[in-house]
Chains A and B, each alone.
Chain A
Amino acid sequence: MWLRRDKHEIVRRLLSAYIDGELSSQEKALVEEHLRECAQCRWELETLRHTVAILREAPRVALPRSFVIRRADVEEAPAPSRVPAFLRVVTALGVAIFVLIVGLHFLMQALLPGMPAPVAKAPLPERRQEAVEKAPTVVVELEQRFTPAVTEEVVVTKEVSREVFAPTVIGKGIPRAPTDKVGVEPQALSPLPTTTVVGPVALAPSPMPKPAALPTSTPAPAIHPTPLPGPKFTTVLRIEPTPTPIPLYSQLTGRVASGWIWVIAALVLAGIGIGLWVYYRSKRKG
């Protein structure tokens, strides 16, 4: 009984394909065998056939117009899609740059803890320029001050590598050189990593000349005058780099990004992109 019911359901589902002659010979045999014994399936088949016949007689509707494509349709059509593609690129680029810079900013701050925010304290470009310009005069002053008096030998040893030094110059305010220290920043900018300067210098065993002439903002390594005992005043000036952590991040923002300028540029770019986009869409709708 159960099997019979099952077979009935299977055959019912096959009747539609049976009408179209789309059954395998096995399925066809199954259907025909069942049809002989099932009145309901015979009725189903009959009504389905009739339904299909009616549908096939469904009146054809007349074309309201020709659908031949005019050249103008094709030539006009691509134009609107090209502009959004361009706008999409501009917007995406602007947003990408913006996200990159902001992301990098926070990432670097997170990775290098203790770094003062470079943007806030970074010297203005003019100040940096000033420092570089004034720098040579320091050397001159150094020589002039030292020359007139008794000639002694002063050994100035600079054990400064430029790589370590440079960031200090650009970076954030390192404490001013104390009075007994002399800024030798220009030398830091010289291409030679290590130099030994031996020159005639007038010296009392007293501390070095006052730093008033020095650019105040210039971060400076220290020159420690080491008075030597005896009649000869030989002073060895040792220039040491001020021990500071290497501020990679300030180097990055200072040199590469110059802080917020890029962020603002990215924002402007994204703004223009979005603005054009919105304008274009409203125009298209209107």
Chain B
Amino acid sequence: MERARKGDLDAFNELVIRYQKTAYNVAYRILGDAEAAADAVQDAFLKAFKNIRRFRGGSFKSWMFRIVTNTCYDVLRARKRRPSSSLDGMEVELNHTPLGDSGVESPEEYAIRQELNRLIQEAINSLPPEQRVIIVLSDIEGFDYREISETLGIPLGTVKSRLSRARAKVRDLLLAQEELLPVRYRLKVGADSNLESASKA
């Protein structure tokens, strides 16, 4: 870390290797586009290296991911000004070793995960940018509230309320197209439909 702070590229690249997977997944989920995510991550790492002297201690991970999320915000803003016709980058190669999966994945399993991936991404895409970022950091990448607060530079209370709104919205979206979800991911676990409509009221 110290060597990286002094501008040692090799030392910095060790940090890149440590965080690139998470960074790319964060960017991919926020942007919903593999191509744009790759560009954003490369851009963010370059920015981080050029500004490494401005890193004043604390959590490097938070500092790094602040740059990544800010770069993603910039991309979203630019896209808003000049909307592209479609999200061609939706289809991505998924990792073949999902968490908790010990054996070799069957093609069916892989297809199910692709479908789940698509549904999740569509739900996230429908959120406003700041809710996208927070739900990606928290529920997809597993950042805790303190890390999110540091990364985004917002108070803990805001993390809680913003995440609560984001989750409720995703829940409603998944419920709305529940029949598309793979059976084992369906939401109506022990809940009756009256309550569902009540919650929407």
Contact = CB atoms under 8 A, between A and B. Distances in A.
A63 B20 CA distance: 8
Nearest to A61: B92
B108 interface: no
Nearest to B162: A16
Interface in B40-61: 41-42, 45-46, 49-50
A62 interface: yes
Interface residues of B, number: 59
Given A16-B164, A51-B187, A73-B46, A68 B92 contact: no
A50 B167 contact: no
Contact of B16 (A20, A57, A65, A69): A69
B91 to A, nearest CB: 10
Nearest to B7: A74
B105 to A, nearest CB: 10
A56 B141 CA distance: 8
Interface stretch (A40-48, A190-198, A246-254): A40-48
Contacts of A52: 139, 167
Given A20-B145, A69-B45, A54 B16 contact: no
A62 B174 CA distance: 24
Contact of A63 (B9, B24, B181): B24
A74 B139 contact: no
B126 interface: no
A60 interface: yes
A69 B98 contact: no
A16 B174 contact: no
A54 B113 CA distance: 11
Interface residues of A, number: 38
B12 A69 contact: yes
Interface string B74-106: 000000000000000000111100110000000
A22 interface: yes
Contacts of A47: 171, 175, 187, 189, 191, 196
B49 A74 contact: yes
Given A55-B135, A68-B16, A74-B46, A50 B187 contact: yes
Interface in B144-174: 144-145, 160-161, 163-164, 167-168, 170-171, 174
A51 B189 CA distance: 11
Given A64-B38, A68-B16, A17 B164 contact: yes
Interface in B98-149: 98-99, 113-114, 116-117, 120, 135, 138-140, 142, 144-145
Nearest to B170: A51
B23 interface: yes
B42 A67 contact: yes
B28 interface: yes
Contacts of B183: none
Contacts of A74: 9, 46, 49-50
B20 A58 contact: no
Contact of B25 (A15, A48, A61): A61
A36 interface: no
A155 to B, nearest CB: 80
Contact of B93 (A44, A50, A61): A61
Interface of A: 13-17, 20, 22, 39-40, 43-44, 46-48, 50-52, 54-69, 71, 73-74, 77-78
